[in-house]
Every structure is written in C-alpha cells, then in structure tokens.
Amino acid sequence: MEIAMVPKELWKPPNELDVQKVGNVICSFLDTVSTSYGRATHYNTKEEQQKAEIESHNTMLGFDRDLYIVFLTLPGITDRSVQMGMKNLLSSQRNGVPTSFLSSGQERTVLYYLIKSIPPPRMLKMVEGLRVGSEQLGLKKANNARTRKLILRTLLSTGRLELWSVKYRKKMKAALTHAWGQRKASIIREILKRDERLWNPKEQSIIQKSVNKFCVSSRVKPIYECIRFIFGVRDRVTLTLFREFERAKVDLHEGKHLPREVLEGIRSTYHKDIPKDKVLEAVKSSLTTQQKMAVQKQAKAAGIDIAMDPRNYDPIKLYIYAFECGLTDEITKALDEKARKAASALPVHYKKVGVVVDVSKSMEGDGTQKLRPVATALAMRDMLQYVGEECQTVYCGGDMTDERLAKPQGATGLAEKLVQVLNVSPMPDVVFVISDGYENAPAGRFAEVVKHLNEMGIKVPIFHMNPVFAAETGKARELAPELVSTMPIQQPAAMGPAMLRELVQHDPIKGVNMLLHIALKAGSNELRKELIHA
C-alpha cells in the first residue's frame, strides 16, 4: 500500500497529552460525524443517538477547537454534524480554549464555508435553532454579533436570494428578523418600502450597515426587492419569480418558474379545482435536481416526462432510487463514473483488493433510513473495484438475482466469506468487509477466524467498513474488536478520512495532518491557499 505524503505539518498535540488518548478522541469524533443522522436506527432510539452525538462533539471541541472546525469540512461529514458543529462554535468563545493553527479570521472563513455547504432548508432550520436552542438537534443558543453577521452575510450575498425569498419566505423572514432584531427589521422594512431617492442620511446609514455591507454593491436593488417581498411588501415587483408568484394566483400557468411546492401552495389555495398533476407539468423545467428524482414515479404515472440526469446525484441516492424504480444503463454508467472518481481521490492504492459485502436482512435499515445501509454498501463496493489493480468481491446473504443491485435478505455468515475471499491465488493485499457489524451465523465466528488467520501467519490487513453508527457503543459496531479496524462510512467520499483512522491511532501527528490536508483540499479555497500553499 502507498500513502501520499503530507506536504506541511499544521498541527502538533500538546506535549502533556497521551498519544493514545489523542487518537481515541479524534477517531471517536470522526465516527460520529461521518455516520450519525440523529435518527433511530435498526438498533437504537433517536434519543440515544443524539446523546452519544452531543457527547462526542463536546469532547472534541474541548480537546482542540481548530481541529474540530477543520474536521467538519472533511468529505463525508453529515449535514447534521455540520449543523451541530456550527452551533457549538457560534455559541462558544475562541478565547481561552485549546486552539492550535487557525486565526480568528480563518475560523470565520471556515464557518462561512460550512454554512454555505448545508442545503438551504437545513441551514435555515439551524439558524432558527440558533435563536432558541434546539434540543432535538442538540443545539445550544447562539445569539451574538458574530452569529448575526454570519447569517446576514450568508443570506444577503447568496446568488439565490430571489429563489430563497419565494421558496422559504417564512423562514427567511424569521432568520432576518433574528439577525437584525425585531425593531430594526421593522425599520428596515419601512425604509425599503419607499423609493431610495427619498431616504434621509440616517436611513441610508441604517441600510448601509444592515444590508449593503453584506452584499455585492452592484446587486443591492434586487436585494432590496427580495427583502420587501420577504416582509410582505408586494408592490413594485420586477423580479421574475415575484411577478409569477402574484400572477399565478390568477392563472396557475403563469407560475412555470416557481418552485413546485410554492406553485402547489398557490394551487391548493386559489385553484382547488385544478388537479395536482398540472402543477408538476407546469414546473417540470424548474424542478431541483433532488425533486426530479423524487417525482419520477408520480410523473410516470401521470404520463409526464421529467428528465433526470443521474450524474447529478450521489451514488447512495442513486441506489436507493434504483431499488424503487429500477436500475437503468444510464444510472449504471453514472455509478461507475462516480466510483472511479472517488477511488482516484483516495490517499492509498493496492495491487489486489478483496471485498466482502454484507447483504443480509439487517442491512435493509430502519424505517427512517430504509435501504440506506445497503445502498451505502453497494456504493462502497463499486468504489473499491477501482482501488486496486484487481478486485475480488463476495457477498454474504442477499438476493443476487441482479448482483449489481443485490437486495438485503437472509442471515449473516461473514466468517466463511472472509476465508473465501482470501483463499484465492494470488491472495489480496487487503480485504474490506462492508457490514453493519451484526453477525449471527454464529455471532463471534468472524473474530475467531481473524484470530486464527493471524496464528496461521496470514497478515493481510482487514478493514471493516460500517455504514451504521450505533449509539450503545458510541461508535460503529465492531466485528472483531482489537483485531480489525472498524471504520464508520456514510458514503464513498468519506473513505479517505476513514482509511486514515488507523494512522491517527498509531501516529496521530501524521494521521491528523493527513486528515487536515484532505479537509483543506476538499473545503474552503481561501483557507487552502492560506494554510497549504502559503
């Protein structure tokens, strides 16, 4: 195996800290942020999941704030983890806590990068949570100047403000009111109602400090109109979406550029006699990428053709879609391309790779995450085909009618499959076992076999990749504790960081710096330039 060398050492642990402890804290945090959705799994309640998450975040933040910040930009971190991380950072001070290599300005840069990386509905929900705290999200209150500036910069400088104003207007109103304060928001609304040529110097100053400062100067007029729209002022509309919003109330077909849910809302209020399918037909050209996937079934049933480009979706979503609607050649091609690309970004390469894929019944997942574990497993399997020059794959359980789309079924006998994948000539250089960690044919046999292999002198490294975070252990469930490294993985892009876990355990300085390198390479351009290329 080869690992790319890190060009620059950014981080060193404090001298007084035990190397082992450093590795444990960081690995536990990485496990959490790469697999936890805060929802129930097949095995744990939602409350248990959330408690384990909060603890993991607090430990890491208390350990090293800068590592905490940058690790949130690693590929494969869940949106939920980013939300939680942001809230923790915004509700806590930088002064007087362990930090190592970032300046305050650089922390702000990362925070801005992170808030933009979350999908808008989640970002707005997080902003709402900042105001009042959200027990459900495990979030503390963060109502300070720094937070307010971040919110305003994010909302007012986005190139999608017109769309967000019409699609999320209530949440946008709440977010802007939070950032400005109730009183100032009212004042701004009243000022913007009037022609700007009539503003007095004090009003100009208010708008300059509260609005213009956060956006590009050439775009202030549309931004004023967006703010007016958000706060319910609907005269003097010039922007396309706002005009369509008003006109669609009279003639539904005038709303063809509106978001689907907005036009559906107008239909259900003003045009109850028009069937829902008409909305889909009207807006099909303006559907988001995610919506195009979500409505395929409905569209087909209604005879509406909505083109969906599989290249725009992550491989896990594609597999979940394929389980429901079938696997087309186009989807297969997109999956292969993504797998190749993900494999090329890994910091390691092998000659021959062995893969054991658990497709037993429990990989079906829980109601709220139905089919996600097996979809993740299949996406990982695809990527691993390109990690070595040669690859051999075996399956444990599963309906193998279509091997590409193996369906969860049957019991879990991983031990025999491990031996099977090794018992070939030449033997693989590495074996990856993709499984939720629940074994029953019988339980414990896998660990016995690994121990036996070691005694036989077979030293092929074995990695267990687990797409499920189990709250009862505070990490992903292990198949063979102390014998096999278990890496929690939610998507192929997260594999690079996951593969470095072992390095983090045994050589934290090297491992952590490698992780930082990956995070900075994938994250903010500005920070990458400042920290890597400086």
Partner 1 sequence: MPRTLTIEEILAGVGFGQPQTVGNMSVLPIIDEDGSAQDDDWAPPDVEVGTSHYGTVNMRNRNDERPTIVPTGAGWVTQQHAQDHAIPSAVLMEAKGTKSVDVACCIEESQGGFISRGAHEMLIIPASMRPSALAKREVKEYSKLWGEIQALNRTTGVDRSGGHLVYFLKHFQKQLDEFVAEFELVPKQVGAIVFVGRRVAGIERAPNYAYWEKIWIPLIRVCYGSLAIMHAKKWEGKYGHRLPLESQSKTLDELVAALNDLRAREVNMLRDRFEEESKRQIKCANAEQRLSTAELQTFASEKLCGQLVVDGSKATYPYVSCSCTS
> What is d(CA 333, CA 306) in angstroms, rounded to the nearest whole number?
19
Q: Is 430 in the site for partner 1 (CB under 8 A)?
A: no
Judged by beta carbon, residue 109 or residue 369, the one nearer partner 1 is 369
The runs of H, that is alpha helices, within 118-160 are 120-132, 145-157
Query: Is 142 among the residues that bind partner 1 (CB under 8 A)?
Result: no
Residue 362 interacts with partner 1 (CB under 8 A)?
yes
Asked whether position 345 contacts partner 1 by CB under 8 A, the answer is: no
Q: What is the CA radius of gyration of the chain?
A: 26
Q: Which is nearer to partner 1, 37 or 43 (CB)?
A: 43
Is residue 412 involved in binding partner 1 (CB under 8 A)?
yes
Q: Residue 115: how many CA atoms within 13 Å on its side-chain side?
A: 25
Q: Is 456 in the site for partner 1 (CB under 8 A)?
A: yes
**CA dist 412 to 290, 358, 362, Å?**
34, 7, 9
Residue 55 in tokens: 């603890």
Out of 360, 376, 392, 466, the only residue in the binding site for partner 1 (CB under 8 A) is: 360
Distance CA(88)–CA(111), nearest Å, equals 11
The CB-of-127 to partner 1 minimum distance in angstroms stands at 33
In three-state form (DSSP H/G/I as H, E/B as E, the rest C), the secondary structure along 294-307 is: HCHHHHHHCCCCCC
Distance CA 341, CA 386 (A): 9
Of the candidate spans 87-95, 235-243, 347-355, 407-415, the one that interacts with partner 1 by CB under 8 A turns out to be 407-415
The residue among 91 and 409 lying less far from partner 1, judged by its C-beta, is: 409
Q: Which two tokens stand for residue 113?
A: 């990068």
**Smallest gap from residue 399 Cβ to partner 1 (A):** 8
Is residue 245 near partner 1 by the rule CB under 8 A?
no
The answer to whether residue 45 forms part of the interface with partner 1 (CB under 8 A) is yes
- The stretch near partner 1 (CB under 8 A) out of 77-85, 215-223, 437-445, 522-530 is 437-445
Smallest gap from residue 363 Cβ to partner 1 (A): 9
Q: What are phi and psi of 409, to 5 degrees?
A: -170, 145
CA–CA separation, 98 and 14 (whole Å): 9
In the DSSP assignment, the letter for residue 478 is: P
276-315 footprint of partner 1 as x/- string (CB under 8 A):
----------------------------------------
Cis peptide before 442 (omega within 30 of 0): yes
Interaction residues for partner 1, span 469-528 (CB under 8 A):
472
Closer to partner 1 by CB, 441 or 483: give it. Answer: 441
Tokens, residue 338: 């993504």
Q: How far is the CB of 48 from partner 1 (least distance, A)?
A: 8
Dihedral sign, Cα of residue 369, residue 371, residue 372, residue 374? positive
Q: Which residues bind partner 1 (CB under 8 A)?
A: 42-45, 48, 360-362, 397, 399, 409-413, 415-416, 419-420, 422-423, 436, 438-445, 448-449, 452-453, 456, 458, 472
